[in-house]
Structures are given as structure tokens and as C-alpha cells.
Amino acid sequence: MNEVEYKKLLNQSRKCISYVHQMCICLCISLTLTSSLFLLAYALTDIEWEVLIQRFLDNLEDGTQKNNGKFRGQDKLKREVMPKEERKTVVVLGSGWAAHAFIKLASTYDLRIVVVSPVNHFVFTPMLASAAVGTVEYRSMTESIRVTNPHIDNFVEGRAIGVKVHEKKVQVQLSSLGTVTGAFKGIAATAPDRLEPEPVLSQIMFNDDGMPIRDPSQGAGGVVELSYDHLICAVGTQSRSSIVPGAKEYCFNLKTSQDSKRLRTAIGEALEMASRPDLQEFYYPDEETKIMAREERQRAVRIAVVGGGPTGVELSGELCDFFNQICASSDGPYQHLREDVSVMLVHGGNELLPSSK
Amino acid sequence: MFLLVLNSSIIYTVDADLRSRALESLQSQGVEVRLNTRLRDVRQDQITIMEKNTGIGEVIPVGITVWAAGNAPVPFVRELLSQLPINAAASAGRINVDKWMRCPTPSQETFGSILVLGDIAYHEAQYKYDTTSEPLPQTAQVAGQQGAFVARMLNRGYDMSITPPTLPSLDKSEAFSLLRVWLVSRGLEEAPPFNFLSLGLLAYIGQEEALNQVMVGNVPLFNYSGKIAFVLWRSVYLAKQASSRNQALIAFDWLRTKVSRS
């Protein structure tokens, strides 16, 4: 065997090895591919394609229906007008997620849409926790119903208090517009602030068997009756803090933009209260009162969050961020309270966030 | 008693890893997390809590208490239910609705005139591989999809008083409209029932970290937690805003908070 033959053989064996190598790699890749394809196929059969495709087609339709030049009973392209009497009247109760989604999409050409809600704006509720500590402002997470839906027939600021199902009528207690009527009454300069929270109390009283008692004088002023063809009832929920004694009176809620505003003010005031001279150890001579002052200071800035759902968890996280920024950092305005601020999360389940039972 | 987990359906289940991650993250930030604990009493300067298993009560002095636990329908729902037949009342003061969001009414003529959406609607759905049906969770996702669903039904002009809602028969004068052709070609002469498409859950847990659970229907695609999840959380929330004005405001708010609070 000469050198040339040896090199030839070596070359061939190398080629062979590289072939085997490549084959191996190919096999590996194809194996992983097929297995992942299998997994993917598994997932793909699980996804409800029918629903997804229909949803996609619906969205296409929405796009064409929204910008087709037809709004408020007027067809701008054909120059036709749909008279008010021919359009169905839809009364929407509420201005939350469901109502907002409805109003945004419903055609104002075919329908007369009247929105009834005690608040004149939609709130992007996942940001309530952020707004309570000032990460975002209230104005950023709210959208005025009238501004975002200029073509709806009307917006009525008020609260639905009764419904006549047979006659297709709904009674609405109008909100008192205190600032402008204040001028009328001669108290313009001291009129109650419009943004001052109205208590979320019902106008409806119930007797023992759960039947509503109506105040006879209530109908005298401020109640209007709206007739409808369709009533969209999306009034939503309110805090159910009444199940714990004292919770209704002493707990802050986080359901509306006013709630987050109020909580933000309260947190600011709590920090200010803890900074008052009468709660600083420095001013007290003896050990006992020093300890009392410290405990009182720590109490003032201890925040308890009740409920470990998404809202409770987000609020706790946001509060921690907030305290880190204003107390723990070296240039924070409340760094003297670094040791005192604390957040507590009380949860009834054995794990945070919703889980299956 | 106090934290009744009413929405314990499968589609609203958060992955176990994400849940423990949330707990760890909050604890590492110094939040005192009390699990299995009931709130017994709230006073102006203290709360009383009780450990469920041991029954040991504890009084904790607090400055501010925030209620983020349970919600109940507003009083108007009771008023509405008093006008509706007895089978309209669902558990926890909610209203039973059918697959087209209609609640039962006392007479046939008024059926389909009242549509109930969102948190107060009690709607059961059955999922693939499930034998039992479960109520939909009370979340913004469900409410938003229901609102859009009903808007589409009314836009298309279905006759809501019959089951299932059907397109009205054509008059002679009425030409085939584009919308009608589109619907018929999709096989939607009858309104489709409401299908909830769960897209998962996003939650912020502090320190610029978040939890993501992204899913399509009941198929989970991925679960993330941490900084990357936080970026997704912020982009989704920004994209979800209805007006570009609010998008600009929120982006600016975040920037301002990053630079300095107060």
C-alpha cells in the first residue's frame, strides 16, 4: 500500500464517517421535528379552530361595518336617512367592559343607542391598582363615553332604578348635576365638587321579603322613563364588603376611578400623618412614650389588602414599588419612614390568584 | 366564608408555577402574605384576622384597609329580577342567560328584549373533554367578548325573539344586501351561540415583573414570569387602550414614573 492509496482510503473513511455523522444529525433533527410536529398537531387539534376562524371573520366584518359611512341613521354614501322611528332603540345600562364593547361596535345607522350610566366614562379596570399609587393618572385610564362614541343617540347620566318588562320601559334616576344647579340656587362658589364621589347607595329600598319599596316622592323630579326595543343590562357588580362587620365602613374599595383616587389620597395622607412631629421619637424624653410613638407611626403606614385575586396581588406589587421609590431610595421624599411602611395581604385560600378547587 | 372563590372554572385557572412565583415575589418584596386567613372584623385602626386551620385570631393595627375580595351585583339587578320569572335568578344574585345572552322574561312577546351581559350574567359553557359545564368567570375578557357578540347580533338584524335568533325573511322590495350575502355564505342565517375564547391572564407583581399566561381557548401556549413577561404586560395593556390619546398618556405616565414619582 503506497502513500496515495493510503490517503485515498483515509479520505473514503473520512467521507464515510462524515456521512454517518450527517445521517445521525439528520435523524436527530427529523426525530425532534416529528415529535414536535406530533406535539403541535396535538395542540392544534385541541385549539377550537372553528371558533377562531369565525372570530377572525367576525373581526373582518366589524372593520367594514364600522367605517362604511353609515352612522346616526344617515348613509353618507347613498345620501339616505333612516328615520328615528324605524331604528330600533337600544338602551344600554352601564359603561363598563361589556357596555363599552357593545357601544363601540353597534351600528348607529340601524340602532338608536341610548347609554345610561352613573359615570360618564369607561375605566380600564386593570389599571386601577396603578392609578391608586400614581403610576398612571386617572385621565389616562378613562375614556369618555361621549368622546369615543360621538354618534350614539344620547348618553344619560343617571342610575336605572326600575324596569317595566311588559311595556318595555326603564326608569332612570338622573344624577344631580350639583355644580351648575348650585349656581341656580345661589351657591355657585361653594357648590359641591362634581368629582366628589357620590355614595354608591341604591335608590331602591327592600323590605323583609325582598320586594322593593319605592319612595313615592322620588318620581316627582329627576326620574325619567325611557322606552326600549332592546335593553342591554351590563350594570356589573359592586364591592361586597358588607359580609365582614365593619368592612363597609372602614375599607377602601378598588372598583371605580373615584375609588382609586380616594385610595391615592388616603395613602398620601397616611404618609403625612406618620411624618407629624407628635409621632417622632425625637420629641419624647422617656423610653415608653418613644415606643408608643413608633408603634403608632408604623400603624399609620401599614396597609392591609384583603383578597389575593389579581387585583389584590397587583395592588400589593404596586404598593411595594411605590414605597421602594419614595421611602427606600436615597432621594425619596419619605425616606424617614423607610423602616415603618409595610404591606400586608390577607387571603382566604391557600394559594394566591384563582385556582381550581 | 369571606373569600368565596366563585369563579373556579378551568379556563380561569392560573398555572401552579405562576401562583407560587407570585407568592415568592411578593414575599421577597416584603409583603406580609397571610394565606388561609379570614378577615373577621374591621375597625377604624385595626383588623381582626383568623387563621382558618388553627382558629387563632390576631388583631393587627393598620392605617388603611383595602377591600379587593368579593363583589356582588348592584341593587338594580335585584329590582330587575323581581320583574322576571323565578327561573331567571342564578346563584349569587346573578341572572341566568341562554346562549344568546337573553334572560327569561314573563311573556313570550317580551322575550329577547332584555339582554344581560358581563359580571351579572350567569352563563354556563362546556369545554372540550369536559363532561360538566361550568359558569364563565366574571372577568373583563368575558364581558368584552359578550358585548361585541351582542353588538354583532343586533347589527346583523337577527330576530331576537325566536330561538335560535334568525335573520328575518326578505321583503320583496328589499334587495340582497352585502351583509346578508356575507352572513348566508358563512352559514349564519341563524345566530351562532356565544363562544368564549380565553386569551389567558396577565398580572403585575411588582419590581417590574409580571405573570403571563397566554392561551387560546383552553390550550395554554406559554407561561412566563419576570421581566420579559412585564414587557408583554405593558405592551398588551398599551395596545388594549381604545384611543391613541390614552395610549400616549399612559406611555408618558410610565416614563414619568420611571424617572421620578411625585
For the segment B174-198, what is each residue's pLDDT rounded down to a tens digit? 556 777 888 888 888 888 888 888 8
Contact B25 A353 (CB under 8 A): no
Provide the residue type at B23 as one letter.
L
Residue B178 is predicted with a pLDDT of 77
What domains, with CATH codes, occur in chain A? 70-233 (3.50.50), 241-346 (no CATH)
Q: Coil, helix or strand for A98? A: helix
Residue B148 is nearest to which of A105, A110, A317, comparing CB atoms?
A105
Nearest CA in chain B to A62: B152
pLDDT score at A269: 92
Q: Which candidate, B250, B252, B118, B245, places its Cα nearest to that of B194?
A: B118
HSE at residue B2, side-chain half, CA atoms within 13 A, is 28
Q: In angstroms, how far is CA A166 from the centroid of its own chain? A: 34
| DSSP string across B194-237 | P-----EEEEEEETTEEEEEEEETTEEEEEEEEHHHHHHHHHHH
Q: In the numeric block, which cell numbers belong to residue B14?
A: 392560573
**Residue A96 is placed in which grid cell?**
363598563
Portion 186-245 of B in contact with A at CB < 8 A: 186, 192, 195, 197, 201-208, 211, 216-219, 237, 240-243
Q: pTM of the entire structure?
A: 0.82
**Which run of H or E residues covers position A259?**
helix A257-274
What are the pLDDT digits (tens) for A232-256? 999 988 888 788 888 888 899 888 8
Of B18, B67, B151, the CB nearest to A252: B67
Q: What is the overall mean pLDDT for chain A?
A: 80
Residues B60-113: tens digit of each pLDDT:
999 999 998 888 888 888 888 888 888 888 888 889 888 898 888 888 888 888
Q: What is the dihedral of CA A223, A227, A229, A235, to 10 degrees?
A: 0
Grid coordinates of B99: 346562549
Average of per-residue pLDDT across A24-46: 70
Give SS3 for A346.
strand
What is the C-alpha separation between A353 and B20, in angstroms, rounded? 9
Tell which A residues from 140 to 159 touch B, by Cβ distance under 8 Å: 140-141, 143, 148, 159
Question: CA-to-CA distance for A100 and A61, rounded, in angstroms?
Answer: 19
Q: pLDDT by residue (tens digit) across A266-325?
A: 999 999 989 988 888 888 888 888 888 889 999 999 999 998 888 889 999 999 989 988
Cite the DSSP H helix spans in chain B. 16-28, 75-83, 140-156, 178-185, 227-240, 244-259
